[in-house]
């Protein structure tokens, strides 16, 4: 029982009576960093206010979607107008077509998309489609990548390379993950060996191209190049899970970042969420028209949803995509994010604290360690205790970072140079204290 009777603590105690752990998604409970979660009362632009009226500069942005900050006027207006016209019809709307066209316009690998309501649903459906289209069952994922909580994806590596994974969650029968092979991120040798053994049975390889669920770890260009080659050689589909990176790291998403280094590069399937909904429940998966023909009602792969393409969510997503497609948007967002990351790096260097940082577009990561990790084990070997002290020292100074060392951070277009400077100043103090 908490002895702190602040409003946040009171709410957290009350929440735990009616909601398991007091939260509707585990990371919100602050288990990784300890302490009392802040109950957010409202948000505007780059700021959030908790139930006690305390203000924070927000670097989680609802875990990625809020690329324009909170309550952007054009988005708010679009949502209000859509809500007045009706919340949900269970019948097609013009706005779904517009949103699909807008996604396709910016991502050349996609000819058709299907809209769904969450990243979990999109990733799960993409795998079903890949299996249906190839007639194969097996899939590869990488340790440290998260693709939502569908059964077949809650897996950790088996005891050896050629063995399949074990469930990471109770309630997932081993038979359900028996087709999922888990490999080390950025390990070309392991990838080649897995394809040599299982290539003919692989439906797909799913990857976060810039992994945001182990903080911020880029797939190396040689790794992505080899992945593309091996998928082509063996007839497996390459699935980019861009739920986090999609329209966040660039207008063309992470695949456009890799296409700069590997001309002509494209994944086969892509999964989106977060930014394309602008903060509303909306996600999507897409690929070529030929592969999409496998999907119901055209083909044998079943997939459906009562609220898919919801009219209010599509209004929110469409208004968001129209704002971020304006000239200069990503240049400005990238510059803000770089100035934040450089400022944090400099503050750590001045304090003599081992620190490594990276960013792309409006997404960033930092580690308490001397160099950027390349895989999950290396992320977990960074200094967790120092991260936790830093997190709380920053929170006390009004800066809301992700409450776990294995999560990425997000900057929005609403963050000003002053916000960044205030954050860096807070970091200077926090690093001295932590």
Ligand X SMILES: Cc1ncc(COP(=O)(O)O)c(C=O)c1O
Bridging pattern class, strands 138-142 and 202-207? parallel
CA 49 to mean position of chain CA atoms: 23
Minimum CB separation of residue 426 from ligand X in Å reads: 26
d(CA 126, CA 287): 9
Distance from C-alpha of 237 to C-alpha of 41, rounded to nearest angstrom: 43
Order the strands of the 399-400 sheet from edge to edge: 40-44, 47-50, 55-58, 399-400
Rounded Cα distance between 64 and 42, Å, is: 17
Q: How far apart are CA 196 and CA 408, in angstroms?
A: 33
> What is the length of the chain?
434
Which of the residues 268, 274, 358, 400 is marked catalytic? 274
Q: Which is nearer to ligand X, 30 or 355 (CB)?
A: 30
Shortest separation between residue 271's beta carbon and ligand X, angstroms: 7
Query: Which run of H or of E encompasses 323?
Result: helix 311-324
Output 121 or 323, the one with its CB closest to ligand X.
121
Least distance to ligand X, CB of residue 68, Å:
18
Quick one: CA dihedral 324, 326, 329, 330, positive or negative? positive
Q: Is 156 a catalytic residue?
A: no
Asked if residue 240 lies in contact with residue 269, where contact means CB atoms within 8 angstroms, the answer is yes
For the question of residue 241 being annotated catalytic, the response is yes
- Choosing from 56, 146, 185, 258, the catalytic residue is 146
In the chain, what are the helix, strand and coil shares in percent, each to the nearest 5? Answer: 45, 20, 40
**Rounded Cα–Cα distance for residues 411 and 419 (Å):** 10
Please tell me the distance from the alpha carbon of residue 406 to that of residue 207, in angstroms, as a whole number: 16
The Cα–Cα gap between 68 and 61 comes to 9
When the beta carbons of 408 and 420 are compared against ligand X, the nearer one is 408
Closer residue to ligand X in complex, CB, 22/65: 65
User: Which two structure tokens, joined as six digits, stand for 5?
Assistant: 């009777």
* CB contact at 8 A, 213 and 244: yes
Residue from 207, 206, 196 nearest 128 by CA: 206
CB of 117 to ligand X, least distance (A): 8
Instruction: List contacts with ligand X (CB under 6 A).
Output: 63, 118-120, 123, 146-148, 208, 212-213, 241, 243-244, 273, 283
Phi, psi of 216, rounded to the nearest 5 degrees: -155, 100
Give yes or no for a contact between 365 and 359, defined as CB atoms under 8 angstroms apart. yes
Closer by beta carbon to ligand X, 323 or else 407: 407
Q: Which of 321, 324, 320, 314 has its CA nearest to residue 82?
A: 314
**44 catalytically annotated:** no
Smallest distance from the beta carbon of 286 to ligand X, in angstroms? 15
Q: How far is the CB of 163 from ligand X (least distance, A)?
A: 25
Quick one: 241 or 268, whose CB is closer to ligand X?
241
Q: State how far the Cα of 49 lies from the Cα of 55, in Å rounded to an integer.
A: 4
Q: Which residue is nearest to ligand X (CB)?
A: 119
Minimum CB distance to ligand X smaller for 26 or for 73 = 26
Q: Nearer to ligand X by C-beta: 269 or 424? A: 269
Query: Cα dist. 145→152, 276, 335 in Å?
Result: 13, 20, 27
Provide, rounded to whole angstroms, the least separation between the CB of residue 243 and ligand X.
3
Shortest CB 281 distance to ligand X, Å: 8
Given 241, 268, 358, 419, the catalytic residue: 241
Residues carrying an active site annotation: 146, 241, 274
């Amino acid at each position: 029982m908490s002895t702190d009777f602040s409003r946040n603590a009171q709410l957290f105690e009350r929440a735990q009576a009616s909601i398991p752990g007091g939260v509707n998604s585990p990371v919100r409970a602050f288990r990784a960093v300890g302490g009392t979660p802040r109950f957010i009362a409202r948000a505007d632009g780059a700021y959030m206010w908790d139930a006690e009226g305390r203000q924070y500069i927000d670097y989680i942005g609802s875990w990625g979607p809020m690329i324009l900050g909170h309550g952007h006027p054009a988005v708010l207006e679009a949502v209000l107008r859509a809500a007045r016209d009706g919340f949900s019809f269970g019948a097609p709307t013009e706005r779904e077509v517009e949103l699909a066209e807008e996604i396709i316009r910016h991502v050349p690998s996609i000819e058709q998309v299907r809209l769904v309501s969450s990243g979990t649903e999109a990733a799960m459906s993409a795998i079903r489609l890949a299996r249906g289209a190839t007639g194969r069952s097996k899939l590869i994922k990488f340790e440290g990548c998260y693709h939502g909580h569908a059964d077949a994806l809650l897996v950790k590596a088996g005891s050896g390379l050629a063995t399949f994974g074990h469930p990471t969650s109770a309630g997932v029968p081993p038979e359900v993950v028996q087709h999922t092979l888990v490999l080390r991120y950025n390990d070309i040798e392991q990838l080649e060996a897995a394809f040599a053994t299982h290539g003919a049975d692989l439906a797909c390889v799913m990857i976060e191209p810039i992994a945001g669920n182990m903080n911020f770890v880029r797939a190396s260009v040689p790794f992505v190049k080899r992945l593309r080659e091996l998928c082509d050689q063996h007839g497996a589909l390459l699935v980019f899970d861009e739920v986090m990176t999609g329209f966040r790291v660039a207008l063309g998403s992470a695949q456009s970042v890799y296409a700069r280094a590997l001309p002509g590069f494209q994944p086969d399937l892509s999964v989106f969420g977060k930014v394309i909904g602008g903060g509303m429940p909306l996600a999507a998966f897409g690929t070529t028209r030929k592969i999409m023909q496998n999907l119901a009602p055209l083909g044998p792969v079943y997939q459906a949803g009562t609220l898919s393409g919801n009219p209010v969510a599509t209004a929110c997503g469409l208004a968001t995509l129209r704002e971020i497609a304006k000239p200069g948007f990503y240049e400005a967002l990238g510059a803000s994010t770089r100035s934040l990351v450089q400022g944090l790096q400099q503050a750590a260097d001045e304090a003599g604290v081992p620190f490594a940082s990276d960013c792309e577009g409006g997404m960033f990561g930092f580690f308490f360690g001397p160099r950027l990790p390349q895989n999950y084990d290396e992320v977990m070997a960074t200094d967790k205790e120092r991260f936790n002290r830093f997190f709380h020292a920053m929170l006390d100074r009004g800066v809301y970072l992700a409450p776990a060392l294995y999560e990425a951070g997000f900057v929005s277009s609403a963050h000003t140079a002053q916000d960044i400077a205030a954050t860096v100043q807070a970091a200077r103090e926090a690093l001295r204290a932590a």
